[in-house]
């Protein structure tokens, strides 16, 4: 194939190369060219890469071969902009020239990855309104004629500036163009959530409600089946296509279901709560548990629970688990565990394994890890009376602090580690610490409407109160709470919420990059880290084990300890500044 790519880059035309490989290699070559042309500081990865192979015949969606001289198309697109080999350019390009190239790339119908589109958007330096508008005109044209891709739209709405151009209806296009694999759902779910909550918009609450309405409409269409006229009309009107097969419908339906919790649809009650343990993921969890058990990072109780939880969903993995134990576990523990698991047949999540009580106390060694004070009483809350008592306790806490200062509450959330994809995660336990109390609140039992309403009342009172400072660690806990309680508006616009790592960063260099355990080891008096052995336990089991309750309570309690440490040190720093200023005034007056 004699064309630009073959001549300049030595791309051979071999029938043995697949269409997928050809497009992947072409994509890599194209983005290298584009970024090097737009940004001279861009450099390719060092080292030799295998020469890409392009075949002249690409298979269409139906499986039949269709003629498409891809090389000639790219030759025309790149040569028209004077792009030379190795990405060197004859003259400095304009942004308009770069946007023109984007237009030509879209015309090739090559599905560039999200990160590739993000690189292109960054390389274009769309600083002015006119430049952004020109780029968005190209994107809108591609949306109308059916050449826009899922990845392009995700990259656009992920950009805070560009995302303001799009209306909630773009979610229809994203749902129709996407794939239903859990991996894909996990990757874009957070982007969709951020788009719907875009605080840059003047009417963010109204916009979020419009996004919810789009999803409600999508859900209604998904419930009618692949042959419904509404689905065919949606495909035609939104992506200028025809529903030629049922797979597009099922992709659409699965993605709708994956997004509903993010944007305000209450989650269905389910015994398994959306668990998704595939055989591959299950085997990965088994190997990880065995490795941590052998290295004494977890005790026998924690180890057996983790293996049991996996086998309750994938019992066919039992032989693999025993084989792995026989290979990786050393000493007397190996015989005890292989014998135990070989004799087990039924793995119900309603039951849990018996525990070897004689197991060494390695994972709860208080000499090595930070722990709760021995006299501290932790309140476990799982009824409406307890939830209402917390609301009243918060009011009393505010009264004690007013008017000199705000009340402070630290919070943490636990969820099960046995969901393969983050989009399925749902909060199981909420921990709160006030100046006087520590609460561990059950978020999944009892499953009654009255209890759910009482939980939402508590969350609304806490996160919507401007007289209570909420101290957490990073943003993941808040996101997980939203998944469990999407109708709680206050979780989307919380008042006075602070990340402890940002507070600590004012005192300790590099604190923003430390884990919570690292902060405890650095800041607290005993200089001990947290014991994280329970982090990957089954937080959906009931009843929770005593070590789980202690772990959960400590996560919230240590946040209060860290806050007190930071507050004291910041106060001392302020006093030192005031003292220095006073000394300066005295010196000046003396002179």
Spatial contact of 400 and 550, defined as CB atoms under 8 Å apart: no
Confidence of residue 260 (pLDDT cuts 50, 70, 90): low
| Per-residue confidence band for 327, with pLDDT thresholds at 50, 70 and 90 | very high
pLDDT band of 283, cuts 50, 70, 90: very high
Residue 444 in any domain: the answer is: yes
Rounded to whole angstroms, the Cα distance separating 206 from 265 reads 16
Comparison of pLDDT for 7 and 316, the residue scoring more: 316
pLDDT digits (tens, 9 = 90+) for 485-496: 877 888 888 999
Greater confidence, 478 or 578? 478
Give the model's pLDDT for residue 117.
86
pLDDT of residue 225: 81
Q: Is the pLDDT of residue 286 over 90?
A: yes
Let me know if residue 346 belongs to a domain.
no
pLDDT above 70 for 280: yes
pLDDT digits (tens, 9 = 90+) for 98-132: 787 788 777 777 777 888 888 888 877 787 788 88
- Please give the residue range of the domain that contains residue 566: 378-573
User: CA 34, CA 104: separation in Å to the nearest integer?
Assistant: 12
For residues 331-356, average pLDDT? 82
Share of the chain above pLDDT 90, in %: 30
Taking the alpha carbons of 223, 163, 475, 432 in that order, is the dihedral positive or negative?
negative
CA–chain centroid gap for 126, Å, is 27
Q: Which residue has the higher pLDDT, 185 or 454?
A: 454
Q: Specify the pLDDT at position 487.
A: 79
CA-to-CA separations, 211 to 193, 227, 433, in angstroms, rounded: 10, 25, 35
Judge whether residue 74 has pLDDT over 60: no
**Is the separation of the CB atoms in 193 and 214 below 8 Å?**
no
Residue 203 has pLDDT above 80, yes or no: no
pLDDT category, 587, cuts 50, 70, 90? low
| Res. 90 pLDDT band, cuts 50 70 90 | very low
Q: Across residues 302-313, what is the average pLDDT?
A: 91
Confidence of residue 534 (pLDDT cuts 50, 70, 90): very high
With respect to residue 214, please indicate whether it lies within any of the assigned structural domains.
Answer: no
Confidence at 70, pLDDT banded by 50, 70, 90? very low
371, pLDDT greater than 90? yes
The pLDDT of residue 439? 98
The verdict on residue 272 lying in a domain is no
CATH at residue 503 = 3.30.420.10
**Residue 424 domain-assigned (yes or no):** yes
Grade residue 20 by pLDDT with cuts at 50, 70 and 90. low
Residue 503 has pLDDT above 70, yes or no: yes
Q: Name the burial class of residue 267, with classes exposed (0-12), middle (13-18) and buried (19+) by CB atoms within 10 angstroms of its CB.
A: middle
| Nearest one of 350, 490, 471, 372 to 412, comparing CA atoms | 471
Average pLDDT over residues 16-37: 55
Whether residue 215 contacts residue 193, with contact meaning beta carbons closer than 8 Å, is answered with no
- Within 10 A of 422 (CB to CB), how many other CB atoms are there? 17
Bridge-based pairing of strands 57-59 and 407-415 is unpaired
pLDDT for res 101: 76
Domain boundary among the residues 26, 59, 89 is at 89
Query: 28: which 2 tokens?
Result: 């890599």
Res 238: pLDDT: 87
Q: How many structural domains comprise the chain? A: 2
The answer as to whether 483 is a domain residue is yes
As a whole number, mean pLDDT of residues 72-100 equals 53
For the chain, the distance separating the N- and C-terminal CA atoms, rounded to the nearest angstrom, is 88
CA dihedral sign, ordered 470, 476, 482, 483: negative
Q: Is residue 204 part of a domain?
A: no
Indicate the pLDDT class of residue 22, thresholds 50, 70 and 90.
Answer: low
Least confident span in 19-33, 141-155, 194-208, 248-262:
19-33
Q: For residue 454, give the nearest of 412, 391, 395 by alpha carbon.
A: 391
Average per-residue pLDDT in the chain?
A: 77
Half-sphere exposure of 520 (CA within 13 A, CB side): 23
pLDDT at 8 over 70: no
What digits encode the pLDDT tens for the residues 450-469? Answer: 999 999 999 999 999 999 99
Measured distance CA(427)–CA(413) in Å, rounded: 7
Q: Give residue 85's pLDDT.
A: 39
Least confident of 79-83, 128-132, 149-153, 323-327: 79-83
**Conformation bin of residue 355: beta by default, left when phi > 0, alpha when psi is -120 to 50:** beta
- In the predicted model, what is the mean pLDDT of residues 389-414? 92
In this predicted structure, the answer to whether residue 393 has a pLDDT above a threshold of 90 is: yes
The confidence score (pLDDT) of residue 295 equals 93
The pLDDT of 164-186, averaged and rounded, is 78
Q: Which of 384, 386, 407 is nearest to 395 (CA)?
A: 407
In this prediction, residue 567 carries a pLDDT of 87
Instruction: Tell me the whole-structure pTM to 2 decimals.
Output: 0.60
397 in a domain, yes or no? yes
């Amino acid at each position: 194939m004699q064309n630009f790519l073959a001549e300049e880059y030595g791309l051979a035309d071999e029938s043995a190369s697949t269409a997928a490989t050809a497009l992947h290699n072409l994509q890599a070559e194209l983005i290298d060219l584009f970024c090097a042309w737009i940004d001279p500081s861009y450099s390719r990865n060092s080292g030799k890469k295998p020469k890409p192979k392009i075949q002249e015949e690409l298979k269409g969606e139906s499986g039949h071969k269709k003629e498409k001289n891809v090389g000639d198309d790219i030759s025309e697109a790149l040569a028209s902009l004077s792009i030379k080999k190795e990405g060197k350019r004859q003259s400095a390009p304009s942004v308009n020239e770069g946007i023109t190239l984007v237009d030509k790339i879209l015309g090739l119908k090559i599905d560039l990855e999200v990160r590739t589109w993000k690189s292109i958007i960054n390389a274009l330096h769309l600083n002015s309104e006119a430049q952004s508008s020109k780029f968005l005109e190209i994107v809108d044209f591609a949306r109308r004629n059916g050449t826009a891709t899922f990845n392009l739209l995700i990259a656009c709405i992920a950009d805070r500036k560009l995302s303001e151009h799009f209306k909630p209806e773009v979610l229809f296009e994203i749902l129709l163009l996407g794939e239903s694999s859990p991996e894909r759902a996990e990757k874009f779910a957070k982007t969709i959530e951020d788009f719907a909550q875009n605080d840059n918009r003047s009417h963010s609450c109204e916009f979020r409600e419009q996004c919810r309405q789009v999803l409600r409409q999508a859900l209604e269409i998904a419930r009618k089946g692949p042959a419904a006229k509404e689905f065919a009309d949606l495909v035609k009107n939104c992506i200028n296509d025809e529903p030629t097969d049922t797979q597009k419908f099922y992709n659409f339906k699965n993605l709708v279901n994956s997004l509903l919790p993010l944007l305000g649809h209450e989650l269905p009650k389910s015994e398994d709560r959306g668990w998704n343990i595939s055989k591959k993921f299950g085997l990965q969890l088994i190997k990880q548990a065995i490795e941590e058990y052998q290295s004494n990072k977890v005790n026998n109780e924690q180890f057996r629970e983790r293996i049991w939880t996996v086998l309750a969903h994938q019992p066919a993995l039992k032989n693999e688990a025993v084989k792995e134990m026989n290979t990786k576990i050393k000493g007397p523990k190996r015989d005890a565990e292989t014998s135990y698991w070989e004799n087990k047949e039924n793995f119900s999540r309603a039951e849990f394994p018996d525990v070897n009580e004689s197991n060494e106390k390695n994972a709860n060694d208080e000499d090595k890890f930070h722990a709760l004070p021995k006299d501290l009483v932790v309140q476990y809350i799982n009824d409406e009376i307890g939830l209402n008592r917390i609301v009243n306790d918060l009011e009393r806490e505010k009264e004690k602090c007013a008017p000199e200062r705000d009340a402070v509450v630290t919070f943490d959330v636990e969820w099960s580690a046995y969901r393969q994809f983050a989009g399925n995660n749902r909060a199981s336990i909420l921990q709160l610490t006030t100046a006087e109390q520590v609460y561990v609140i059950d978020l999944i039992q009892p499953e009654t409407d009255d209890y759910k309403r009482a939980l939402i009342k508590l969350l609304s009172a806490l996160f919507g109160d401007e007289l209570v400072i909420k101290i957490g660690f990073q943003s993941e806990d808040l996101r997980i709470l939203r998944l469990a309680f999407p109708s709680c508006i206050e979780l989307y616009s919380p008042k006075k919420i602070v990340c402890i790592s940002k507070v600590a960063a004012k005192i300790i260099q590099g604190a923003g990059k430390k884990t919570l355990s690292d902060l405890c080891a650095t800041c607290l008096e005993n200089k001990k880290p947290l014991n994280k052995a329970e982090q990957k336990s089954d937080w959906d089991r009931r009843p929770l084990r005593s070590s789980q309750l202690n772990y959960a309570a400590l996560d919230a309690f240590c946040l209060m300890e860290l806050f007190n440490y930071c507050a004291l040190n910041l106060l001392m720093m302020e006093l030192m500044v005031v003292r220095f200023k006073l000394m300066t005034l005295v010196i000046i007056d003396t002179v």
